Every structure is written in structure tokens, then in C-alpha cells.
């Protein structure tokens, strides 16, 4: 079943943001409502880039516009406080695809060239009144030029990139790095949008007693830390303190109950009974005065996050701060600084330190930056997506789902030759769907399952539509199974319809995903038409599945049929053939 080309959810969210911030500040021009709307959004994109990336205020970003006659392809000009000159051309693409016209990009290049060569008479008055500020910046000795092509589409092609490369070569000969060109497509604009709503990195002071350190190959400090200080950090930052950890505080578990009992009954022994806490940070600086004997050290830490020990800190924070006035507790703390570490090193530290404890494969999904991006994107659309496990997780609902729920549903969308590995795992062992090389056996057929299911091409809209479809199909198949009467007069060796449907639900879902392709639909929420089509397809697939299964003597239970990969291939082939005849 063909589906309409989906307009990216990221573009819908960006337009909502642009309307909220700029509808009262920017007026679009044009002869029709559509052209005025497009012009407004183009201008707003330029202002959005300057506000989110250059640090301009909303009013400064709007005032930077020189869009109009004789703008020479430059829509906005901003001289920032660090003497960087931002030159922006912005284009709104309503489909969320495509790129600016080649002629527009060439005109932008010519405008940048004329500006840097001081041909002020070629520009409109809006640019000319900025001449003094631009000239002062160019003569400051520290000036940099940032040329930005901002557009709500996909990647630019080589001919556009060649224009930018020529521009950089022309002006960087005697001053490498003086001018840099950037293409900000929808992906980059969405990243800026997410950055704008993200919590700021934690910066704080901590104290370590009897501390040690290592400087090579990467800096790290370790020592004894007061539990009270950890409780204070949790009170101030809550879940933000464990942003880089693979789990949040899980609450009333047996292990956590033991931590709480020690804190209450024998706090003086907590240091000896506990594994300690590991932090990652972007920088750590020892503060004055310094103790040459390292009995006590005070440190300024930036970009702080716990990556091992969230349960320890959560248990500590459950006690009131006054508890530690009379129950002194000490924790071993390690701070690993990523300032000069290679990319990905922090994730490796997190993964390695957590593999020493009992964790599930799905917990490591929290290390994937894409999960955070999908989560934030869906949150902006009013949908809660749970990646990390925690004690205060909201229940699954019409506006809430989890990675744990999503994985088996995504498994049923797999159509490559190994599809049966995924569909059977969705039924039998869902944890395997989070498999990654290095975390599971090299011979495991699902050793790359996580990267296959949560691929770069997966969108937030597809994730939520997949969940909605999965919920509807599973509910309807289960209801259909419950309505089947006890078998009477069933031929020997035939399987009861109720058992077929209960155990075959994942194969039914797999077939429906293949036939309808509604997971790729254009809207975030399923429409009534979608629901009608799904309901009709479920009835048809269930009828044909029961007929196909009961037409064969399997000499085994229904559970065994649908948990056997070879049997699943056989059943799917016959089911698809039966459905094709129906069509």
C-alpha cells in the first residue's frame, strides 16, 4: 500500500518554534498568503540561526535582516561581540527536502565577495548602515567570517559545495581559517533547536579527601567524598546529574534497600561496603589554597555527570540532608576528565564500568546520542519516549512509550533474509534485540540487532507510528484469540485457532507491516482511515493464518511452530500467498 511522502516531523516542530518566537517580530512579504508565509519562514530561519548559534538576542537576530532589493543574496548580517561577521542566506523548503537553487547560491557567493571587497554601493541601505561596524570588525585583527546557507531541506550537492570551496580559497590564502562556509540543512537546524531546549552542563565545586590523580594518558582524580555533598548535588540537579549514565535511579530494589539500611544503621561502614561513584567531566581544576599533602582538595568541575553509581547516589539522596549531620558517610569518587580524550572515550568508560555490574543489554541504548535526539524530538511533539529505566517512569499510555516496547515492534518491520531471527526474538527473547558487537557472542545472529533496528534512517515519526500500529494489531489479535471458542470436532493434529493467534501475533504484525507500510505514513498520529485499514487487515490476516496453519499437521504445539525459524518461514510464505489470492 503506497503512502504519501511524509513531511519531516522535525520541520513541523521547527515551524512551531519559528511561529512562537518570530510571528510578532517578522512580517512576511508576498502577493499571496502562501508566498507571505514562505517569506516569513525564510526570514525567521535566518533569525533562528543567529539567535541559537551566534548568541544574538531575538531582537538582534531579527534586526540583522537586510532581506529585500539589492541584498545581493545575503539575507542577514550580524557582527557578534567576538568580531565574527555572520553572513546568512536562508531558504524555506516546505517539503523538508531539496536544496536552494544553484543560481541563489552563486548570487550569495557574489554578495559575500562584494561585501569583503568593500563595494558598499552595490548594496541596499540596510547593509550600508552597517558599514562602519563591519569595517571595524574586519580591521580588528581577530575577525572571522562565517558564511551560512540555512535552509529547511536535505544535503547540498557538490556543485553548491564547489561554490563555497572557491569562496574559501579566494579569501583564506594569507589567513587560513578567516572565512568558513557552512550548509545548515534541516538536520542542523533541528540540532540547534534541540540544543536550545537542553539543560545547561553542570558546573560545581567538590571536595575530595586523601585524593590521588593521574595525568596520562587522560586526567583523572579520585578520593573520598562526603555523602552529604552527593545528596546536595542530587537535590540541585536531579536526573540531569545522571544524563550520561545508562540508568536512572531504580528505586525500591533489593540492592538499593541494602544501601539505605547501611546509611541508616552503620553509615561509618558505607565506604567499605559500596563500590563508589564514577563521574565524567569536561574539565576539572584544583582550587586554591592547595594542600601539598593532598589530604583535602577542592576542585571546580564543569560538564559533570555520573556514569556509574546512580543507585548509590539515589539511595543517598533519599535520606534528608539533616541525616548526614549525625550519620557521617563517605563514598569513593572518581572523576574522569574528557578534556583531551578522543571522541567516544567517555562512552567506552561508561560501558566498561557498567559491565562490571548486572545490567541489561537494553541499558546500553542510553549511550546512543541518537536516542536522546529522538527523545527530545518526540517530547517537543507531546510524546514521552522512555530510554533509561527509573523508579518514576510514567506508565505506557497513548502519549508514552519506551525503547523496550519499541524494539520488538521494530523487529517485525525487518524484511531482509534474516527477518525470522528478529520476529522470533520479538516473541521469545526481546533483550537480544539490543545486541551489539562486543557485548554479545561474535556468532550470535543478532549481534548487530540494535544498530539494525535503531538505524540512522529511523525517524521519530516512524518510531511513534510503529508503536501505535503495533499496539492496535496486538490488541486486536489478542481479542480475536480470546473470542475463539474451545475446539470441538477439530481434526486430530490440527491446532486450535486460539493458540494459533496467541502465538502467531508477532508474525501477523510482521506481515501487516510489510503489506500496509503505514509505519512510513505522513502524520504523527494514526488517522481514523489508518485504523480502519489496520482493523480490516487484522481480520483478513487472522482468518488466513488460522486456515494456513490448520491445513497442515504439525505434530507440535502452536508455541513451537512460531518459535521455530524454519516453521516461521514456511508459515509466512503460505500466508502471503493466501493473502495475495484474496487481493
| Alpha-carbon dihedral sign for residues 429, 433, 438, 444 | positive
One domain for residues 406 and 333: no
Q: What pLDDT, in 10s, does the model give residues 98-118?
A: 999 999 999 999 999 999 999
Mean pLDDT of 380-407: 90
* Lowest model confidence (mean pLDDT) among 50-59, 244-253, 380-389: 244-253
Same-domain pairing of 252 and 385: no
Share of the chain above pLDDT 90, in %: 74
Look at residue 3 and tell me if it is in a domain: no
Asked whether residue 178 carries a pLDDT value surpassing 50, the answer given is: yes
Phi, psi of 158 (to 5 degrees): -60, -35
User: Can you give the residue range of the structural domain that contains 34?
Assistant: 9-196
Domain boundary among 329, 359, 389: 359
Tell me the backbone φ, ψ of residue 325, rounded to 5 degrees: -70, -30
Our count of domains for the chain comes to 3
Q: Are residues 470 and 576 in the same domain?
A: yes
Q: Are 167 and 211 in the same domain?
A: no
Strands 179-184 and 283-286: unpaired
Buried b or exposed e, range 186-221, using 16+ CB within 10 angstroms: bebbbebbbeeeeeeebebebbbeebebeeeeebbb
End residue of a domain, out of 300, 328, 359: 359
pTM of the model: 0.74
Q: Are residues 255 and 276 in the same domain?
A: yes
Confidence of residue 369 (pLDDT cuts 50, 70, 90): confident
pLDDT band at 249 (very low <50, low <70, confident <90, very high): low
Predicted confidence (pLDDT) per residue in 534-583, tens digit: 999 999 999 999 999 998 888 899 999 999 999 999 999 999 999 998 76
Residue 1, domain member (yes or no): no
- Residue 279 resides in a domain: yes
Q: 327 with 277, same domain?
A: yes
pLDDT (0 to 100) of residue 2: 45
What's the rounded mean pLDDT across residues 370-384?
A: 93
Same domain, 352 and 380: no
187 and 271: one domain? Answer: no
Residue 168 vs residues 181, 382, 439: alpha-carbon distances, Å: 7, 42, 44
pLDDT of 213 reads 92
Residue 1 is predicted with a pLDDT of: 46
User: What pLDDT does 5 receive?
Assistant: 63
Q: What is the DSSP string of 93-148?
A: -TTS-----HHHHHHHHHHHHHHHTT-GGGS-HHHHTTHHHHHHHHTSSS-EEEEE
CA distances (Å), origin 473, targets 120, 504, 529: 65, 12, 15
**Cα distances (Å, whole numbers) of residue 508 to 526, 542, 544, 575:** 19, 7, 10, 9
Distance separating alpha carbons of residues 328 and 300, to the nearest angstrom: 23
Residue 63, domain member (yes or no): yes
Q: What is the CA radius of gyration of the chain?
A: 30
Q: What is the CATH number of the domain that holds 68?
A: 3.40.91
Which of these three, 324, 359, 394, is where a domain ends?
Answer: 359
Q: Is the pLDDT of residue 480 over 60?
A: yes
What pLDDT does 360 receive? 67
Instruction: For residue 493, name the pLDDT band (cuts at 50, 70, 90).
Output: confident
Residue 358 pLDDT level (bands cut at 50, 70, 90): low
Do 343 and 396 have their domain in common?
A: no
Both 207 and 191 in one domain: the answer is no
Q: Are residues 264 and 388 in the same domain?
A: no
Confidence of residue 490 (pLDDT cuts 50, 70, 90): confident
> Alpha-carbon distance 444 to 542, whole Å?
32
- Any domain includes 371: no
pLDDT confidence of residue 248: 58
For the chain, the farthest-separated pair of C-alpha atoms sits apart, in whole angstroms, at: 95
Q: Which whole number is the average pLDDT over 153-165? A: 93
Residue 369, domain member (yes or no): no
What's the pLDDT band for 352 if we cut at 50, 70, 90? confident
In which band, very low, low, confident or very high, does the pLDDT at 280 lie, cut at 50, 70 and 90?
very high
What pLDDT sits at residue 180? 96
Query: For residue 462, which of 548, 522, 514 has the smallest C-alpha distance?
Result: 522
Query: Strand, coil or helix: what is 464?
Result: helix
Average of per-residue pLDDT across 440-465: 92
What confidence tens digit (pLDDT) does each residue in 217-231 have? 999 999 999 999 999
* Arithmetic mean of pLDDT, 508-536: 96
CA dihedral sign, ordered 377, 380, 384, 388: positive
- Report if residue 273 sits inside a domain: yes
Is residue 370, in this structure, part of any structural domain at all? no
% of the chain surpassing 70 pLDDT: 95
Is 219 in contact with 339 (CB distance < 8 Å)?
Answer: yes
Same domain, 19 and 108: yes
Contact (Cβ atoms closer than 8 angstroms) between residue 46 and residue 76:
yes
Amino acid at each position: 500500500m503506497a503512502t504519501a511522502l511524509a513531511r519531516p516531523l522535525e520541520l513541523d516542530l521547527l515551524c512551531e518554534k519559528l511561529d512562537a518566537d518570530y510571528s510578532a517580530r517578522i512580517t512576511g512579504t508576498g502577493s499571496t498568503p502562501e508566498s507571505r508565509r514562505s517569506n516569513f519562514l525564510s526570514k525567521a530561519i535566518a533569525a533562528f540561526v543567529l539567535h541559537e548559534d551566534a548568541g544574538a538576542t531575538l531582537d538582534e537576530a531579527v534586526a540583522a535582516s537586510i532581506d529585500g532589493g539589492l541584498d545581493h543574496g545575503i539575507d542577514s548580517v550580524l557582527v557578534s561581540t567576538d568580531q565574527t561577521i555572520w553572513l546568512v542566506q536562508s531558504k524555506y523548503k516546505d517539503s523538508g527536502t531539496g536544496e536552494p537553487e544553484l543560481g541563489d547560491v552563486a548570487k550569495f557567493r557574489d554578495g559575500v565577495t562584494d561585501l569583503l571587497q568593500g563595494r558598499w554601493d552595490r548594496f541596499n541601505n540596510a547593509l550600508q548602515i552597517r558599514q562602519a561596524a563591519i569595517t571595524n570588525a574586519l580591521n580588528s585583527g581577530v575577525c572571522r567570517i562565517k558564511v551560512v546557507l540555512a535552509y529547511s531541506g536535505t544535503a547540498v550537492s557538490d556543485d553548491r559545495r564547489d561554490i563555497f570551496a572557491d569562496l574559501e580559497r579566494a579569501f583564506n590564502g594569507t589567513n587560513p581559517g578567516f572565512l568558513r562556509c557552512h550548509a545548515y540543512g534541516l538536520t542542523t537546524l533541528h540540532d540547534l533547536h534541540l540544543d536550545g531546549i537542553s539543560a545547561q552542563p553542570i558546573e560545581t565545586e567538590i571536595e575530595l579527601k586523601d585524593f590521588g590523580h593521574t595525568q596520562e594518558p587522560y586526567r583523572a582524580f579520585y578520593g573520598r567524598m562526603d555523602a552529604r555533598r552527593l545528596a546536595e548535588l542530587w537535590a540541585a540537579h536531579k536526573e540531569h546529574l545522571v544524563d550520561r549514565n545508562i540508568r536512572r535511579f531504580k528505586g525500591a530494589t533489593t540492592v538499593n534497600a541494602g544501601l539505605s539500611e547501611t546509611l541508616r544503621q552503620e553509615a561509618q561502614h558505607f565506604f567499605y561496603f559500596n563500590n563508589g561513584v564514577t563521574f565524567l567531566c569536561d574539565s576539572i581544576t584544583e582550587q586554591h589554597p592547595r594542600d601539598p599533602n593532598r589530604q583535602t582538595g577542592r576542585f571546580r568541575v564543569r560538564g559533570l555527570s555520573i556514569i556509574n553509581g546512580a543507585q548509590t547516589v539515589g539511595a543517598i539522596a533519599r535520606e534528608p540532608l539533616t541525616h548526614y549531620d549525625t550519620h557521617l558517610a563517605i563514598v569513593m569518587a572518581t572523576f574522569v576528565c574528557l578534556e583531551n580524550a578522543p571522541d567516544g572515550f567517555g562512552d567506552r568508560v561508561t560501558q566498561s564500568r557498567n559491565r562490571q555490574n548486572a545490567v541489561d543489554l537494553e541499558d546500553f541504548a542510553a549511550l546512543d546520542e541518537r536516542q536522546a535526539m529522538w527523545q527530545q524530538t518526540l517530547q517537543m511533539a507531546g510524546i514521552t519516549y522512555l530510554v533509561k529505566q527509573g523508579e518514576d517512569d510514567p506508565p505506557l499510555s497513548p502519549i508514552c512509550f519506551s525503547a523496550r516496547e519499541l524494539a520488538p515492534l521494530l523487529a517485525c518491520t525487518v524484511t531482509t533474509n534474516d527477518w525470522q531471527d528478529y520476529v522470533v526474538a520479538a516473541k521469545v527473547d526481546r533483550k537480544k534485540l539490543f545486541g551489539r558487537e562486543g557485548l554479545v557472542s561474535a556468532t550470535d545472529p543478532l549481534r548487530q540487532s540494535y544498530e539494525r533496528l535503531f538505524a540512522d534512517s529511523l525517524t521519530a515519526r516512524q518510531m511513534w507510528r510503529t508503536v501505535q500500529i503495533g499496539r492496535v494489531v496486538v490488541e486486536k489479535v489478542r481479542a480475536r484469540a480470546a473470542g475463539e471458542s474451545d475446539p470441538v470436532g477439530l481434526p486430530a493434529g490440527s491446532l486450535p485457532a486460539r493458540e494459533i493467534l496467541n502465538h502467531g501475533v508477532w508474525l501477523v504484525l510482521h506481515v501487516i507491516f510489510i503489506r500496509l507500510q503505514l509505519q512510513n505514513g505522513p502524520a504523527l498520529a494514526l488517522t481514523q482511515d489508518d485504523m480502519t485499514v489496520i482493523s480490516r487487515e487484522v481480520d483478513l490476516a487472522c482468518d488466513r493464518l488460522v486456515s494456513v496453519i490448520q491445513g497442515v499437521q504439525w505434530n507440535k504445539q502452536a508455541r513451537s511452530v512460531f518459535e521455530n525459524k524454519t516453521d516461521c518461514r514456511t508459515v509466512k510464505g503460505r500466508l502471503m500467498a493466501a493473502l495475495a489470492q484474496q487481493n
